[in-house]
Amino acid sequence: MARRKKIYEGKAKILYEGPEPGTLVQYFKDDATAFNAEKHEVIDGKGVLNNRLSEFFMTGLNNIGVPTHFIRRLNMREQLVRACEIIPLEVVVRNFAAGSMAKRLGIEEGTPLPRPIVEYYYKDDKLGDPMVTEEHIAAFGWASQQDMDDVVSLALRVNDFLSGVMMAVGIRLVDFKIEVGRVYDGDFQRLIVADEISPDSCRLWDVQTGQRLDKDVFRRDLGNLSDAYTEVARRLGVMPKNATGMTKPHLIN
Ligand code: 5GP
């Protein structure tokens, strides 16, 4: 078989040229990184779990009319996605204070916020993804005002959907990050949710115990990351019902 053309390799994923024009194959690696890749480990099975979880969330979003790049899962580690022009922003939505916001503003982690707060970070590893405002985004031409209206609307719809889905399985959606891309349909452009939605890019806390079920387990050395992600997948029904306490994922087709 001919080797596929690699389009981009990031810390946790690789993008290959897709089988048809306008498509890409997104491959999920087992690598976990934090603090701008200063901390790095290979976590057996993480890519498989994130592929399935991102499929689950993106399919749900597509089904309620929130457009995403997800087309279909190809195998354990790969999914077919629509190619898009990524807006160079990490869009973060927060429901509870945690992480960098708790630190920056001196708010105790877990404090409920009066309303969801949307923040933007400029995607640049060399700069450590600095926080930016809509003023910077407009001034430097990263996105138009119309784009930003659509970005906020997408981000809040994703927040409502994810919060509800997670709460139904006893998990609090504390915050998350999405990336947004532009696609062109003839003369029209529209924005879609891109990249991935997984416990790598969300903060997920057990409602009863506050147990962390996301990448903070790795960032803060709180236990076994694969166990945490497996628990999220199991509760969402992405895993077989009897799959408790496994360290290696056994996924249903
Ligand atoms: P914080 O700004 O508190 O570090 O992160 C806020 C939320 O966005 C968290 O859910 C975190 O996982 C996610 N997030 C922020 N930056 C990144 C990033 O570069 N990669 C990933 N995967 N998630 C991020």
- Looking up tokens 């945690």 gives 98
Predicted confidence (pLDDT) per residue in 117-165, tens digit: 999 999 999 999 999 999 999 999 999 999 999 999 999 999 999 999 9
Burial of 22 (0-12, 13-18, 19+ CB in 10 A): exposed
| Pairwise CA distance, residues 125 & 37, whole Å | 9
**Ligand 1, closest atom to CA 12?**
22
Rounded (10°) angle between helices 225-235 and 46-63: 30
Asked whether the predicted pLDDT for residue 249 surpasses 80, the reply is no
Asked whether the predicted pLDDT for residue 243 surpasses 60, the reply is no
pLDDT of residue 245: 41
- State mean pLDDT over 20-38: 95
Protein residue with least CA distance to atom 21, ligand 1: 201
Q: Is residue 211 within 8 Å of 217, Cβ to Cβ?
A: no
pTM, full prediction: 0.94
pLDDT of residue 3: 77
Select from 31, 94, 32 the least CA-distant residue to 222: 32
The neighbour count for residue 7, using CB atoms within 10 Å, is 14
Q: How confident is the model at residue 223 (pLDDT cuts 50, 70, 90)?
A: very high
**Range with the lowest mean pLDDT among 52-61, 190-199, 240-249?**
240-249
Q: Which sign does the torsion angle of CA 229, 198, 18, 60 carry? A: positive
Predicted confidence (pLDDT) per residue in 57-105, tens digit: 999 999 999 999 999 999 999 999 999 999 999 999 999 999 999 999 9
Asked whether the predicted pLDDT for residue 250 surpasses 60, the reply is no
Protein residue with least CA distance to atom 3, ligand 1: 99
Residues with CB under 6 A from ligand 1: 90, 92, 98-101, 129, 175-177, 200-203, 215
